[in-house]
């Protein structure tokens, strides 16, 4: 097992004006046994960074250390890593057993008997012991992915690298395999880097997230840190599903004038905003309240555009006065709450749950309060409780 250091790594593809900076001066320390998820939209540099750690791509600048050894000059085989890809990459003409034992036969001194024992016990752990004589073509996508994972596990590597390993599976299987990979990583304790563009996978799997955008490192933190304490508007919008709602506004005399409504900034918000005038107000769907009447100055009339029932909750897409269908924001409401399309309601944005971002830089200026902080300031808590008691 091993820790990994990514030190000032930049990767440029191409030359001159046409060159693309896929990874831009990224530095990162990954602890031994840690499960770290690289997450970001398509093209943000996740795969390139992982391929550099694997030795499949060479960085333009910077160093990669695995277990305190600089591995820049080492090829993938010498790095003692095992990779799992989206497309499984199994040998089609080999049986499951041959696929799983191939790497061991090529790269270790283990006897055939030892290899067989190891493959059998891993196949049992992965629930594929009954498939050892089948070829990949005879297996479902989920079974093939288990074989690919099993093949990585038998190698007993220092590091697992997984690049969107669940993308080809249907939704139900993906959820199952997500839990299983979590459990395996916990049990085996092998340092794991996992690439995904799916923020649900990122939230549920990693000890820490590495959020990337356009090759730039945005934030490194636990899933909950990235969710509750996003460092900028990009992370705030990317982590969490559905995304945080943003309202652009201009601050003047303690009031944020947004399209369709005015928002009274609390004293704390005004202090955080300082002299920044052009702001984005951010609020998560579960933190907006919908009332049948105005509850205070920070309530504004909305028309309900679309309601999406999800079961225990529904998503109500609303728009403020004068806004059109492209300008809706989403509110999470209780699934049993009767809200109909076309209904007029009042949206209330509690100041304790709101974030503020500088419009030009995207930098976070103001963070929501956490429950523990609200408990320490009972006045704000009771204000909030009063508002929610009159919720629909």
Q: Is the peptide bond before 148 cis (omega within 30 degrees of 0)?
A: no
Instruction: For ligand ADP, give the closer residue by CB, 33 or 43.
Output: 43
Q: What minimum distance in Å lies between the beta carbon of 219 and ligand ADP?
A: 15
Instruction: For ligand ADP, give the closer residue by CB, 20 or 377.
Output: 20
Q: What minimum distance in Å lies between the beta carbon of 18 and ligand ADP?
A: 10
Q: What minimum distance in Å lies between the beta carbon of 335 and ligand ADP?
A: 35
∠224-196-85 over CA atoms, to 5°?
140
SS3 at position 347: strand
- List residues binding ligand ADP (CB under 6 A): 13, 20, 22, 40, 42-48
Q: What minimum distance in Å lies between the beta carbon of 220 and ligand ADP?
A: 16
CB 232 within 8 A of CB 364: yes
Instruction: For ligand ADP, give the closer residue by CB, 86 or 243.
Output: 86
CB 95 within 8 A of CB 131: no
Instruction: For ligand ADP, give the closer residue by CB, 60 or 72.
Output: 60
331 token code pair: 């509110």
Instruction: For ligand ADP, give the closer residue by CB, 13 or 91.
Output: 13
Q: Say how far apart CA 323 and CA 257 lie, in whole Å.
A: 14
Q: What angle, rounded to 10 degrees, do the helices at 96-107 and 141-154 form?
A: 20
B/e letters for 185-200, b = 16+ CB within 10 Å, e = fewer, are beeeebbbbbbbbbbe
Q: Counting beta carbons within 10 angstroms of the beta carbon of residue 339, is it exposed (0 to 12), middle (13 to 18) or buried (19 or more)?
A: middle
- First vs last C-alpha separation in the chain: 54
Instruction: For ligand ADP, give the closer residue by CB, 42 or 111.
Output: 42
Q: What minimum distance in Å lies between the beta carbon of 206 and ligand ADP?
A: 16
Q: What minimum distance in Å lies between the beta carbon of 46 and ligand ADP?
A: 4
């Amino acid at each position: 097992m091993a820790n990994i250091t990514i030190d000032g790594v930049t990767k440029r593809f191409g030359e001159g004006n046409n060159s693309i900076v896929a990874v831009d001066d990224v530095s990162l320390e990954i602890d031994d046994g840690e499960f770290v998820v690289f997450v970001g939209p398509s093209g943000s540099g996740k795969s390139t960074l992982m391929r550099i750690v694997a030795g499949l791509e060479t960085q333009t600048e910077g160093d990669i250390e695995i277990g305190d050894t600089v591995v820049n000059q080492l090829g993938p085989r010498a790095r003692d890593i095992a990779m799992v890809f989206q497309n499984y990459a199994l040998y089609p003409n080999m049986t499951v057993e041959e696929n799983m034992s191939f790497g061991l036969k090529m790269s270790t001194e283990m006897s055939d008997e030892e290899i067989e024992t190891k493959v059998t016990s891993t196949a049992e752990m992965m629930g594929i012991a009954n498939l050892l004589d089948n070829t990949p073509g005879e297996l479902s996508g989920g079974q093939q992915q288990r074989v690919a994972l099993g093949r990585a596990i038998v190698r007993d590597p220092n590091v697992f690298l997984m690049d969107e390993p669940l993308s080809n599976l249907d939704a139900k299987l993906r959820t199952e395999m997500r839990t299983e990979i979590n459990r395996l990583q916990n049990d085996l304790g092998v340092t794991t880097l996992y690439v995904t563009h799916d923020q649900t996978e990122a939230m549920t799997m990693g000890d820490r997230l590495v959020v990337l955008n356009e090759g730039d490192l945005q934030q490194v933190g636990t899933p909950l840190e990235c969710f509750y304490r996003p460092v900028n508007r990009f992370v705030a919008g990317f982590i969490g599903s559905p995304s945080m709602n943003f309202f652009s506004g201009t601050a003047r005399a303690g009031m944020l004038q947004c399209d369709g409504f005015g928002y009274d900034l609390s004293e704390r918000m005004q202090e955080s905003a300082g002299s920044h005038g052009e702001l984005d107000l951010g609020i998560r769907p579960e933190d907006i309240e919908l009332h049948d009447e105005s509850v205070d100055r920070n309530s504004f009339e909305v028309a309900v555009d679309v309601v999406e029932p999800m079961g225990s909750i529904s998503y109500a897409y609303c728009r403020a006065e004068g806004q059109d269908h492209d300008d809706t924001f989403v509110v999470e409401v209780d699934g049993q709450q009767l809200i109909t399309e076309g209904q007029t309601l009042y949206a209330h944005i509690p100041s304790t749950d709101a974030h503020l971002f500088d419009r030009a830089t995207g930098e976070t200026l103001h963070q929501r309060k956490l429950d523990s902080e609200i408990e320490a300031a009972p006045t704000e808590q009771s204000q909030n409780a009063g508002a929610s008691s009159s919720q629909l």
